[in-house]
Amino acid sequence: MAHKLTRLHVLLFILTFMTTLFAGAMLAGVIPWQNPEKIYLGLPFSITLLLILLTHEMSHYFMSRKHHVSVTLPYFIPAPSIIGTFGAIIKMRPPIPDRRSLIDIGAAGPLGGFIVAVVAVMIGLTYSDIKSAKEIQEGLSLGSSILFYILSKIVLNVDPDKYEIVLHPIAFAGWIGFLVTSLNLLPIGQLDGGHIIYALLGEKHQRVSKWIIPILIVLGILFWSGWIIWAFLMLILGYKHPPVVYPEIPLDGKRKLIGWICFVIFILTFTAVPIKGV
């Protein structure tokens, strides 16, 4: 049974590599079925995105194993979309011993993926093109988080408000990494942010989690309709969190700091309007 599951993980990873490779090739201006010999041009995007996702999930995995929590290898999800994937997940089986192990496991993924995404954005921006607003035709453009705006200004030495940045595929993969990080750090249910809030606040987690649903709906009405879909998903998945076995064991100062650092990262990577019209 274990071998069959391992083969499934490997198969899904290979399929996701193929779909992200196709997506990356198309981002590079190549139509894979017309010019299959140029599909390699999709490698920078594919490898960068898979590295971000893999680092995120394997950070969860190794930290779970460290705390003797039952966990699966990552399930990558291939998809016929503009980025070629719906991400990756691992299945973690309760019980979790205490709040210390919970915050270690919950924070490991976002921190690991975030570090790789920052490197990807900085490298990718150096290869990105800068164009004036007049040169950009009507269409869709990407929103910018606080951190992406700052890095764009530092790396490119221009004001992102006055110019349009045509992202290199590596930078685009890093941008997706920022978005994935912020979504996972939403303090609700059993998302990574939910794990961290439960570890920090205990039973008050449910109160915070309940407030996120209406906040997402308001964001969906005012800014981007996708937040309403997220609110609906969170209602389906649930906003509660299973208790740890030994809740009386307190968090030490180092872990509290890590928890709050994660929410600073959430603020820095959050984008109210991820996709917008030009």
Tokens in use for 28?
């590079």
Tokens in use for 233?
């998903």
- Looking at residues 34-38, what average pLDDT do you find? 90
Alpha helical stretches, state H, the chain: 2-27, 43-66, 99-126, 146-156, 169-184, 192-201, 205-222, 226-237, 253-269
Pairing of strands 275-277, 70-71: unpaired
Highest mean pLDDT among 106-120, 131-145, 192-206: 106-120
Pairing of strands 275-277, 140-142: antiparallel
Q: What was the pLDDT predicted at 131?
A: 81
Contact, 23 vs 82, CB < 8 A? Answer: yes
The 3-state DSSP class for residue 91 equals coil
The 3-state DSSP class for residue 271 equals coil
Residues 276, 234: Cα–Cα separation, whole Å: 23
Contact, 180 vs 89, CB < 8 A? Answer: no
- Looking at residues 171-193, what average pLDDT do you find? 96
Per-residue pLDDT tens over the stretch 209-235? 989 999 999 999 999 999 999 999 998
Tokens in use for 106?
């919950």
Burial class (CB in 10 A: 0-12, 13-18, 19+), 88: buried
Residues 188, 199: Cα–Cα separation, whole Å: 12
pTM of the model: 0.94
The domain ranges of the chain are 2-277
Tokens in use for 96?
């979790």
Q: Percentage of the chain surpassing pLDDT 90?
A: 76
Q: What was the pLDDT predicted at 278?
A: 47
Fill in the DSSP letter of residue 202.
G
For 143-191, where are the E strands, in sequence order? 163-166
Residue 162 φ/ψ region, left for φ over 0, alpha for ψ in the -120 to 50 degree band, beta for the rest: alpha
Residues 33, 255: Cα–Cα separation, whole Å: 50
Per-residue pLDDT tens over the stretch 47-97? 999 999 999 999 999 999 999 999 999 999 999 889 999 999 999 888 899
Contact, 60 vs 90, CB < 8 A? Answer: yes
Residues 61, 72: Cα–Cα separation, whole Å: 7
Q: What was the pLDDT predicted at 275?
A: 87
Contact, 171 vs 230, CB < 8 A? Answer: no
Q: Which residue has the tokens 């685009």?
A: 172
Instruction: Name which of 5-9, 30-34, 49-53, 78-82 the model is least confident about.
Output: 5-9
Buried b (16+ CB within 10 A) or exposed e, 243-273: ebeeeeeebeeebeebbeebbebbebbbbeb
Closest among 97, 68, 107, 108 to 249, alpha carbons compared: 97
DSSP letters spanning 16-46: HHHHHHHHHHHHTT--TTT-GGGGGGGHHHH
